[in-house]
Chain A
Amino acid sequence: MLSEGPSEINNKRLRYDAFSSEEPLFPGKKQRLPAMGWNSWNAFGSGNTEDLTKEMVHKIKELGLDSYGYSYVVLDDGCYRPVRVDDRLCPDPVKFPSGFKAMADFIHSEGLKFGMYNDIGDRLCSGAEVGIYKHEKIDCNDYINWDIDFIKVDNCYYMWDNATFSNKENARYSFAPNIKSVSIVGRTYNVLEDADITGPCAFVKGDYATFIGTFDGTAPDHSPVGERSSELVFDIEADEPGEYDLTVSYATGKEEGIGCWLQVGVDDEIYFDQMLPETESSESFKDSPAIKVKLVSGINKIRLMNHRRQENTLNSYSEIRKELENISDGRDIVFSICEWGKTQPQNWGHLVGDSWRILNDITFQVGSDGDHGTAAWESDYTTSITSQYNKAVIMDEFSGLDKGWNDPDMLVIGMDGIDENMCSSHMAMWCMMNSPLMLGLDLRRVEKGDWIYNLITNEDLIALDQDPLGIQAKRIYTTIPCSDPSLEYIRDNDRADVLVKPLSDGSIALAFFNLKQSDHDEPITVSVENITDSIGAKMGNSALSDLKNASSFDVKDLFSKSISRVDEKQFTVDHLDPCGCKVFKIIPVL
């Protein structure tokens, strides 16, 4: 029995060891393409109102954006009264005086879909004391009564991790204690001589192991690819099968890297999953109570670990999805996970969500009524187009129709601080990467035929994002030397990238992106062989054969719409503008 902290996890499907399962956790989770629509946050921050939302709906209809696929209208943070009334969520009485059902009815009457926002913690990021924690059932009931079609769920004030606004000491749930040794079968096994560390997170400090847990992925410091967690593993030999007492020499902390929560497993079986008594300091070691484990005769892998950072977050999101599905009677609701990449959701997001944010926000300078807000092409943190792109571009293997989509945050097209070239590349990147396309601008600044309108309604680009094959582009080349452009996390923007993705009609999308803020004048050539080597396995046999055997290709420029015939098996771009791109559809001619 747990004395404090997160709940027990009895469903093995929510365990780290089951993250790679392809079996659906929820029957209502459908294969769907990336969501498209408008979200209030980048445009208006916490200042969105009923009147502003209605104006955006009118603009969506006036511009015909819904006919291009932009169908969801999502109220982000700032729409609720900051306290519950009779334990229920209520609209902010000044901003949304007619209430959410009236808002939903209006949006639905315009043929659009209605989305809302909440948070797995006990408050929202804005500070409103209406987080969904411990209110999953009652809130989901209200959401269903309000006829939502989409929900975005944030991660502020989360109780079981050191998330934004959470108690920093919550890290005690997310990391194992420092561990010096284990004793079992009459022998002591030391970390230095007898243990293996899996993954890149943990390391040995002096004579003990520390940072046994999962990297925090909120900031852009770590690659999303590969093992993101660490375990301490001892190979223990037992002469006889049976139950044995294991004791662990440990020291606890309450900070990133050193916690109090320990999980003990033998191979795939978990025997212990709870807090250990605190020690005087993170270097004052003591022995744990005896932990009963079952061993087989021969070698047993004893795993000391803490995967709760990922498991707790998945469990919290699952509680919401479960209630929505229980109450909704089959209503089709997009579930947008927004934990900012903190717990490496690329590993588990497919089990519960339709998309998962991969980093902290793309901008913190959101707009308000009369102020477009500001975005950036590059920054040292997550707050730029390239920061988000640089991580998402190597995450293609985590996404797909049967999983869901990497979400590098909402579009910042139309905000100040970025020019047309940057916005064009931004749109093309998001479409190549099958990202959700959530407009984040005040649509009143858009008129039919202006450059923003032309960009966000570029049907050829949108078709890449919404291609029924649902395969995120793969980076096959970058001008910076690297071992594997599809996997290496590159944050130096002094480069150009080449991405390819197969399309359902047998053609190929090929994109060249110049990340640097100066011209790229070195020609870049990609051969058909480069393409088939990298994505051939994801193409149908017929499409692959056509691509290989074609004697020439029709090449459509998806910005200029010009089509040219290429009679050789390679494609070259001689020049890219600063922050510019070229995007082509390659159609084999047989």
Chain B
Amino acid sequence: MTRDAFIKTLCRVFAEDYSEVYRRGIENGWLEQQDREFRSDLLNRRNAARIIHNYLLKEKNIPDLSDISEASELKDLYDCRVCVNHVAQVYLRGIMDSKPLSRDGKYIFFDHERIVTSDEAEVYLNKACQIVSRG
């Protein structure tokens, strides 16, 4: 799905007004200029993690987990320097899942570049919504 479709889904799940969401999101710091400029581009998992994490942190005031060391079980966690914390927060909260790297499932990874499907977005965003509901 595209970034724009993802943001539309986010607006629906969280009852956000879609009109001017880019302006509001950028001003409030949970969207970036790239989301507006590349809104028609397909959304990968690391950008989904960034948007979800920043939305929870900056729009819903859900504080970060301070210890993210357990996320280092994701073998590709440090492949993405600028999104380590985004990935760790959504992974450790159970919002986004890992993918098996080996057949026995012993090694797992986040798979930053894989494109998010509409069905997956529904799952991620509804889990995020549940976290907000629990407070």
Contacts and interface: CB of A to CB of B under 8 A. Distances in A.
Interface in A357-390: 360-361, 364-366, 368-369, 371, 374, 379-382
Interface stretch (A120-128, A141-149, A438-446, A578-586): A120-128
Most chain A Cβ neighbours within 10 Å, of B69, B80, B81: B81
A584 B58 CA distance: 45
A374 B33 contact: no
Interface stretch (B24-32, B91-99, B102-110): B24-32
Contacts of A364: 68, 78, 81, 84-85, 88
Given A368-B58, A379-B69, A360 B37 contact: no
Given A127-B34, A364-B84, A374-B64, A164 B79 contact: yes
Interface string B65-94: 010110010000011111011001000000
B132 interface: no
A382 B34 CA distance: 28
Given A365-B64, A374-B66, A416-B66, A125 B33 contact: no
A537 B99 CA distance: 55
Nearest to B32: A46
Q: Which of A92, A93, A165, A369 has the most chain B CB within a 10 Å cutoff?
A: A165
B18 interface: no
B32 A82 contact: yes
Interface string A338-368: 0000000000000000000000110011101
Given A219-B78, A416-B66, A368 B57 contact: yes
Contacts, number: 68
Contacts of A156: 81
Among A164, A360, A364: residue with most chain B CB under 10 A: A364
A587 B11 CA distance: 67
A65 interface: no
Nearest to B82: A125
A83 interface: yes
A111 interface: no
Indicate the size class of the contact surface on chain B: 20 to 34
A262 to B, nearest CB: 27
Contacts of A125: 81-82
Contacts of A381: 72, 78
Interface in A106-121: none
Q: Determine which residue in A46, A77, A156, A381 has the highest number of CB atoms from chain B within 10 A of its CB, and name it.
A: A46
Contact of A82 (B33, B58, B72, B84): B33
A219 B29 CA distance: 30
Contact of A46 (B38, B47, B82, B84): B82
A380 B37 CA distance: 38
Contacts of A379: 69
Contacts of B33: 81-82, 92-95
Interface in A58-88: 77-78, 81-83
A365 B78 contact: no
Nearest to B23: A94
Contact of A380 (B32, B57, B68, B72): B72
Which residue among B34, B37, B57, B69 has the maximum number of chain A CB atoms within 10 Å of its CB? B34
A199 interface: no
A468 interface: no
B16 to A, nearest CB: 19
A6 interface: no
A47 B68 contact: no
Given A368-B57, A374-B66, A381-B72, A360 B81 contact: yes
A540 interface: no
A360 B38 contact: no
Interface string B31-70: 0111001100000000100000000011000011010110
Interface of A: 45-47, 77-78, 81-83, 92-95, 125-128, 156, 164-165, 219, 360-361, 364-366, 368-369, 371, 374, 379-382, 416-417
21 contacts: A46-B32, A77-B82, A78-B32, A81-B33, A83-B37, A92-B33, A93-B33, A164-B80, A165-B80, A361-B81, A364-B68, A364-B84, A364-B88, A365-B64, A365-B68, A365-B84, A365-B85, A368-B58, A369-B29, A371-B57, A416-B66
